[in-house]
Structure 1
Amino acid sequence: MGWVVPQEPSGVQSVVRAFRVLEALADAPGDATVADVASRAELAPSTTHRLLATLTSLGYARQTDDRRYALGPALITLGSRATPQAAVIAGPVLEELERATEETANLAVLDGDLVAYVAQRASRHHMRMFTEAGRRVLPHASGVGKAILATLPQQRVTELVRRTGMPRFTDSTLTTESALLTDLRASRRRGFTIDDGEQEVGVRCIAVAVPGAPVPTAVSISGPAARISDASLPAAVEALATAAARLSELLGASPSRA
């Protein structure tokens, strides 16, 4: 079901509808027709067409050669400007997560087809993981990437990894769609994802998606596999769930859908 839109002045309602159109484009598995967007946004096709024309003129949507629509490049600029602010907002939560787990805490977002690390709090241990803010990685071989993929429709996941490929980084890397989809299903059931040496040998990462974040987002801890053991998982997952819930509040969860 779509949003239940309150009765607002027409100008405010137009803004709400414009964002519903943008979210419909983001949720579409590929380029979308006006009818596709209208159906997803639960708007009249005529209204959707007018909003798409305006968003396209501003660069927030784009029209393909076959008269379909997709998200536009102007959103990249907005996202890049919002990222530093997200890092500032998330800082105290990541610090608390590092204190609770004594492992490096990370925040990452979906950036096109890749996952970008936007903030980190390094572990107090001398042997620790470090990933510079701004680094972008393939999602199939990272804990945060798989946590984000687990929130997306299966068709969008398969289309994404077909564009990026699934290269092998270690003997543990998942390199087939079937293996990845199986892993994502298991992750949804248990509520967290594991990168068990899939990006780097000897490194383990546990990640949880941030519910309702403005863009697909995940929080994680990473460290040597010897320290992030199966015995320590319950406490680590509890700390991550607490951090994810707090980040959801601070980063501004999207309005609930009816």
Structure 2
Amino acid sequence: MPKGGVQSIDRAFAILETLAESGGVMGLSQLAERSGLPLATIHRLVRTLVDLGYLRQEESRQYSLGPRLMRLADAASKRVAAWAHPHMLAAVEDLGESVNLAMMDGDEVVYIAQVQPSKNFMRMFTEVGRRTLPHSTAVGKAMLLDTDPGTVRSLLSRTGMPQRTEHTLTTPDAFLAALDVARERGYALDEGEQEVGVRCVAVAVPDAPRPMALSMSGPTTRVTDAAVDEAAARLQEAARLIGADLSYAGR
């Protein structure tokens, strides 16, 4: 616990974070084992969190994250977008294409921020608040680069791999192979897999509290191989700065 902190608050958030990292549903004994807290302490704190709406008890007698957290998550996402905006704007000014910030929410990708260039405007499928599946996006690949193959296969089994375009990867083996390539070069690509005629390059945001990725997208006529190389380096710098800001905000 940080020096000068309040132990009960520290423990309450340990419970919430343990649940979030474990799929959002868990029994008391599992919570005690995962968090390292005494069962009696877990029981007392869980009851308080249930009363406040931050947890709820399921019919199975397990506990899940409560609906009141949605309001906090929405407000936090807006603040993340505000912190990221200056770095995204600077990248757009350098690259001349749209830049997007996305994060994983369960098994889905959700776009939480976007900056459009003042010229070369071309509306993409991405817009703030839009949700999509990770298998057909560069940001989805970027956020799954460090995830073990078994977990990736489980995710793909849950979501399915619907074909968005003729270029969409529709098998787990093809997707895992794409992750291997992306991991080797340090960035991920969407080669018209989500939207025909649109190419996207994405990098993971380091030190983010949850998987996040920064991307640049544009028409294939402009996003050439040379443009991809330039964009990858610029996005990595912007992602590093965003990650540093998020890490600082969490202190």
Tell me the residue number matched to 2:62.
68
Out of 123-132 and 194-203, give the one that drifted further: 123-132
User: Does the Cα contact within 8 Å between 1:114 and 1:139 map onto a contact in 2?
Assistant: yes
User: Does the Cα contact within 8 Å between 1:214 and 1:253 map onto a contact in 2?
Assistant: no
Tell me the residue number matched to 1:237.
232
Tell me the residue number matched to 2:209.
214
> Alpha-carbon deviation of 1:101?
1.7
The separation in 2 between residues aligned to 1:110 and 1:139, in whole angstroms, is 9
Tell me the residue number matched to 1:27.
21
Aligned-residue CA RMSD in angstroms? 2.6
Match of 1:52 among 42, 46, 55: 46
TM-score (norm 1): 0.83
The separation in 2 between residues aligned to 1:99 and 1:86, in whole angstroms, is 20
The runs of 5 or more residues in structure 1 that have no matched partner are none
* 1:77 aligns to 2:61 (yes or no): no
Tell me the residue number matched to 1:134.
129
> Alpha-carbon deviation of 1:129?
4.2
Q: Deviations over 1:119-159 (max 9, x none)?
A: 21113443534332222222221112222233555555444
Find the residue that maps to 1:214 and give its secondary structure. Answer: coil
TM-score (norm 2): 0.85
> Alpha-carbon deviation of 1:229?
2.5
Tell me the residue number matched to 2:242.
247
The runs of 5 or more residues in structure 2 that have no matched partner are none
Tell me the residue number matched to 1:187.
182
Find the residue that maps to 1:18 and give its secondary structure. Answer: helix
Distance verdict in 2 for CA 1:30–1:20, change over 3 Å: closer
Distance verdict in 2 for CA 1:166–1:58, change over 3 Å: farther
What is the 5 A alignment of 1:83-94? 83-94=77-88
The separation in 2 between residues aligned to 1:254 and 1:91, in whole angstroms, is 15
User: Does the Cα contact within 8 Å between 2:96 and 2:120 map onto a contact in 1?
Assistant: no
User: Does the Cα contact within 8 Å between 1:33 and 1:67 map onto a contact in 2?
Assistant: yes
Find the residue that maps to 1:226 and give its secondary structure. Answer: coil
Tell me the residue number matched to 1:169.
164
User: Does the Cα contact within 8 Å between 1:29 and 1:156 map onto a contact in 2?
Assistant: no
The separation in 2 between residues aligned to 1:24 and 1:153, in whole angstroms, is 20
In the comparison of the two structures, how many residue pairs are matched?
250
The separation in 1 between residues aligned to 2:8 and 2:24, in whole angstroms, is 25
